[in-house]
Amino acid sequence: MTHPIVSSDTGVEYLKLPPPMRDGGMPLLGALQHRRSTRTFAPASLDDVILSTLLWAAFGINRPDTGQRTAPSARNWQEIDLYLAMPDGLYVLEPVDWRLRLVVGEDLRAATGLQDYVGSAPLNIVYVSRLSKLDETDKPLRQFYTALDTGFISQNVYLFCAAFGLATVARGLLDRRALARAMRLDADQRVVLAQSVGHAA
């Protein structure tokens, strides 16, 4: 897979995503029948259009007039960011411009979990909450809402993978502090969950 690299005037690198597909795949009830966790992955990367469609299904904008997304968000905070650990670097999804912004130009896949297979999965999505977007000051409520919103997005990924014959598994076994350092997260960001995606081995 070759990504179209675009550099801005400030030197930031982006991967411009192609338009996602808006139809195709298995019908919903069939996808529910095939939804499962898989922990073995072939090394082949995801096609650019499949990657774009996966991200749109996960948490893309499906109502451009309001900016609302394909997964619910408590009070429409939209506090969850999707980071993508791939062989050529770590990226974050910028849904309004429909592109990936390069964050770290290193392969951080192995750092996204404690299981052996995460380093070889072609894509590891890391769900990161930006706490400054929440107006709740009560910590248990913040944790509840970010976990709830992450679960909605993760399930969208599961159903997309089932519908398009891909393998995936959501993972909570993480060294969150070490991963946050490797990802160069801000002080108000927290790692919630990771999810490996690829072709089944």
Residue 5 pLDDT:
56
Residue 4 pLDDT exceeds 70: no
Residue 7 pLDDT exceeds 80: no
User: What is the per-residue pLDDT across 92-117, written as a single tens digit (0 to 9) for each?
Assistant: 999 999 999 999 999 999 999 999 99
Residue 10 pLDDT exceeds 70: no
How far CA 13 is from CA of 24, 104, 105, 114, 123, in Å, comes to: 31, 10, 10, 29, 19
Closest CA to 84 of 97, 74, 76, 94: 94
Are 181 and 22 in contact by the 8 Å Cβ rule? The answer is no
User: What is the per-residue pLDDT across 57-98, written as a single tens digit (0 to 9) for each?
Assistant: 999 999 999 999 999 999 999 999 999 999 999 999 999 999
pTM value is 0.94
Q: Using alpha carbons only, give the angle 35, 15, 193 rounded to the nearest 5 degrees.
A: 40
Q: Which of residues 177 and 12 earns the better pLDDT score?
A: 177
Round the average pLDDT of the chain to a whole number and report it.
94
Mean per-residue pLDDT for 20-28? 94
Please give the DSSP secondary-structure letter assigned to residue 84: E
Mean per-residue pLDDT for 5-9? 58
**Dihedral (Cα; 168, 196, 169, 79), 10-degree rounding:** -110
Residues 6+ positions from 140 with CB-CB distance below 8 Å: none
Task: Give the CATH superfamily of 5-198.
Answer: NADH Oxidase (3.40.109.10)
Q: Which of residues 101 and 137 earns the better pLDDT score?
A: 101
Residue 11 pLDDT exceeds 80: no
Backbone φ/ψ region at 147: left (φ over 0), alpha (ψ -120 to 50), beta: alpha
Residue 12 pLDDT:
86
Mean per-residue pLDDT for 169-179? 97
d(C-alpha 24, C-alpha 19), whole Å? 14
Mean per-residue pLDDT for 145-174? 97
Residue 174 pLDDT exceeds 80: yes
Q: Residue 104: beta bridge partners?
A: 90
Residues 6+ positions from 176 with CB-CB distance below 8 Å: 190, 191
Residue 31 pLDDT exceeds 80: yes
